[in-house]
Amino acid sequence: MNRPSHFPRRSGQTSALNTAIASAVALALVACATPPVASVHRDADPRMLHAQAGTSSVATTTTPATLATTPGTTTTGAQPLPEDEQGPRPRIRRGSGQVINREAASAPPPVLPATGGGATFNFEGESLHAVVKAILGDMLGQNYVIAPGVQGTVTLGTPKPVSPAEALNLLEMVLGWNNARLIYSGGRYNIVPADQALASGAVAPRTGAPSLARGYEVRTVPLRYISASEMEKVLKPYARPNAVVNVDNARNIISIAGTRTELENYLRTIEIFDVDWLSGMSVGVFPLTSGKANKVVADLEKVFGEQSKSPVAGMFRFMPLDGANAVLVITPQASYLDDIQEWLDRIDSAGGDIQLYSYELKYIKAKDLADRLSEVFGSGRGGNGGSTGAPSLMPGLESVELQDGANGSTADIKGSGDTGTGSTGTTGSGGEMSLGARQSGNAAVTLDVNGDRVGVSAVEETNSLLVRSTPSAWKSIKDVIARLDVMPMQVHIEAQVATVQLKGDLSYGVNWYFERAVTDAGLPSAVGRTTWSQLAGSVAGATGNPAGISPGMAWTFLGRNAAAVISALDQVTDVQLLQTPSVVVRNNAEATFNVGSRIPISSVTVNPNAGTTNTISQVQYLDTGTILKVRPRISKDGMVFLDIVQEISAPTGTPDANGNVRIDTRKLKTEAAVQSGDTVMLAGLIDDGVTRGASGFPGLSRIPIIGGLFGRQGSATSRNETIILITPSVIRNPQEARDLTDEYGARFRALEPLQRKPRDPRK
């Protein structure tokens, strides 16, 4: 059964409709696509942005670890750690230096309260009983009891009247001299022998101010910072015998007994010495690299210990930390810790066994540093530190490399340009900038440091040094490393090459054609023409004109057997060119900047078979364009010394029979000293020329004014100006490099996408 013919047509229409819809969707998606945006990362460590070039890297501190070595030597190993985890390093906590309560120590002594009334006393060898009766009974009106064992005589005089409180204080003092105590109990004063005061059962520990004491009492004082036993040692020189009643280290309390005046003095002494002793003391923990902690502490005790008999004896407390191989130092003077650290460094580096140290370098190459160390200390080289290079030749000669291959022998001339060989119509492979052959970065040297034999090995993989030496030799080597392993400075060099070309060319004259020359010149035939009847004019360009018609403005006159063409041309060319190559290069390193084309030059062509077109040619590639080579050297004051080669070249003209073209070159090679940030002129060239000429009928073409009717007159002027400027800028830290990138991002059109924010696809 045949299908109706309209079904296929509907299918074709549907297919076309689907295709159109798909195309429209694709165009819409393309229109909505986000254009690519250049990316500038800012992921560097912020702590390193302001690290100044020329500053030393942080020395890697080593952690000794016993290694298996030959008998008789103890070798330790160390692994370099990240900068924030290096250890062990000295840890110092400087205290306030306040070991007593200065405010309490400088306070004036308490004064007895003034009371009404007063009396004078004059006792000369009077009995103790009579004095007690006169003060307690007669003056103060207090009840009292005197124990049988209390006896003595008193001599006392008070020319000035004394108050009742002062009289009671005098009585307590007199009783103390006679080994008796005044105890208030049961509403009366009991006077008992001193050795029976506590045993009488009438005295109990109390807290409170000593001004509330009535007679002989006991005060219990809780201590905050100092221990009770240490406070007992402090109080004994200032207290009466048996004044310290009890020392409770578990509760850290001390109980003292005495009269009101004595208690005031005792409590004041406790207040002076019960201070935060640890906050006042300075503590330092100093790790050792070679010596043993217990031996070093023994040596320090001989110099600074309590038995040293030195002016600072007892000012230090030393404790060996055998587990960490470190020395703990405690002193009340914070500045003494610096002196002790210097002594520890001297003792620790004065001797010791041979050890193995590792030092991870930051900036300089390990092999280069090993070479510098060998130059400083003298060495014998070992390992594979040597390198191979090209053989030296006499000046002016070029090396030739001969190679045998499957296609025959080839010769490669090692000149300034890359070369290649091939048959007719082929060229050598294009050359490219090369980093040069990679040399081995491992090296091993043996040094003589202060009479010690030191082995140094450079490890290229981790850019580290392995040093096997004594601690004293290692210290000398570290001093050299700290001076050499510094952040290198960089230079941003911007060269400006400005070129101006001005050209003017004026020519005018008359060309005459006679007989057959009319048609030979491509003009219409003059056959049958009787007069000068045809006149034509034209304004022609520089190219594409008929034969005999010069560019410019031309008038043609046709006669019976001759023709005249009058032409005039005025050409003016104005070319202004500014090229600004920029490059960033490390101090004392060479940088090459090349933007241009490689032009093939056929240097040698050989036809081995006569009569055939099969030739063998050698092609040399020459770099053209903008080429900048520079090697800077930076001084401390910002002066930049430059070895610079600047070349601007371009092919001009038409190729010759061998396909070679002329290359116009402006090249500069010089050495200069420029202050960082200044622009100076390195070279300049002004080429100014005028050319005049005439051609035509001899004699007649030289007639002034009308000479142009019998020939052509021409004049040409040209002026070429070239100036080369250079601006070096020293980059001392990564932040300056960032600023330079942002500056060029604003100046370069190629970096304009950096200034635009990418469009949010959700909007």
Residue 749's pLDDT band, with cuts at 50, 70 and 90, is: low
To which H or E segment does residue 112 belong? none
Identify any residues that bridge with 131 across adjacent strands, giving them in sequence order. Answer: none
pLDDT at 118: 79
Highest mean pLDDT among 286-295, 436-445, 457-466 belongs to 457-466
What are 336-386's pLDDT values in tens digits? Answer: 888 888 888 777 766 667 778 888 988 888 888 888 888 888 766 555 544
> pLDDT tier at 76 (50, 70, 90 boundaries)?
very low
Contacts of 642 (CB under 8 A, 6+ apart): 493, 630, 631, 632, 633, 671, 672, 673, 674, 726, 728
pLDDT of residue 86: 46
Q: Which of these ranges, 395-404, 476-485, 503-512, has the smallest mean pLDDT?
A: 395-404
pLDDT at res. 597:
82
Predicted pLDDT at 10:
45
Across the range 753-762, mean pLDDT stands at 53
pLDDT in tens, 593-616: 887 788 888 877 777 776 666 777
Collapsed DSSP state (helix, strand, coil) of residue 405: strand
What are the tokens at 103? 């405010």
**DSSP secondary structure string for all residues of 638-675:** SEEEEEEEEEEEEEES---TTS--EEEEEEEEEEEEEE
pLDDT digit string, tens, across residues 289-322: 777 788 888 888 888 877 777 787 878 888 888 8
Q: How confident is the model at residue 220 (pLDDT cuts 50, 70, 90)?
A: very high
Instruction: Give residue-wise pLDDT tens across range 467-487.
Output: 988 877 888 888 888 888 888
Q: Is the pLDDT of residue 521 over 80?
A: no
pLDDT tens for each residue of 649-676: 888 877 887 778 888 887 888 888 888 8
Of the pLDDT bands very low, low, confident and very high (cuts 50, 70, 90), residue 70 is: very low
What sign results for the dihedral spanned by CA atoms 174, 179, 185, 186? negative
Instruction: Render 115-164 in DSSP notation, one character per residue.
Output: -S--B--EEEEEEHHHHHIIIIIIIS---EEE-TT---EEEEE-SS-B-H
Cβ-based neighbour number of residue 713 at 10 Å: 18
- pLDDT for position 141: 86
Is it the case that residue 83 has pLDDT exceeding 50? no
Which pLDDT does position 433 carry in this prediction? 55
What would the pLDDT profile of 524-562 be if each residue is shown by its tens digit? Answer: 666 666 555 555 555 555 554 554 455 666 667 666 667
Mean pLDDT taken over the chain: 74
Q: Is 295 helix (H, G, I), strand (E, B) or coil?
A: helix
Least confident range of 95-99, 234-238, 563-567: 563-567
